Amino acid sequence: MRRLALATCLALAMLFSSVAYASPPERERTHVDVTFVGALSRICGFTIMAHWSGDLIDTTFFDSAGQPIRSLEVGPHFVITWTNPATGKSLTTQNPVVVQTTFNPDGSSDVAFNGLVYRLAIPGQGLVAMNSGRQVLHIPVSGPATVLQDAGPNDGVGPVCDYLRG
């Protein structure tokens, strides 16, 4: 009986010593303060600058070989301001960012934006545009991104363009 118990303990020790454990997740806080020509320019037909600011907390998860497999970025107090440089008119929205990225073995990635993307109110008019839900993009190693999923309310931004146009 004692030999059986000893053999069982040795077998379990060998089994568990061969299990590869993943590296612990890494967390990094980054402050973002960037301005660029926003995608709203394409919709409105004139230049609209987008200014993104806030802190992002990025948690990256690794496999047993130490390779990143996914990340989660959250920015609970992220702010976006859209400005027409020709008129100086602007609109600002809180944008509590939640982004999940899956790193694929071929070097591509799938990026999911979850929750509120924007909520725009015009002074004197109230809420005029909102985008929320879930959008998933596939980012290949080379070439353009493709939309894999786009679900949730995405109200038109016509009144926003009109307001910013001046």
The pLDDT, as a whole number, for residue 17 is 47
The answer on pLDDT for 21 being more than 80 is no
Domain ranges (residues) in the chain: 22-165
pTM of the model: 0.67
Backbone angles phi and psi of 88, in degrees to 5: 80, -5
The DSSP bridge pattern shows strands 146-151 and 126-139 to be antiparallel
The count of other CB atoms within 10 Å of the CB of residue 55 is 14
The pLDDT, as a whole number, for residue 153 is 67
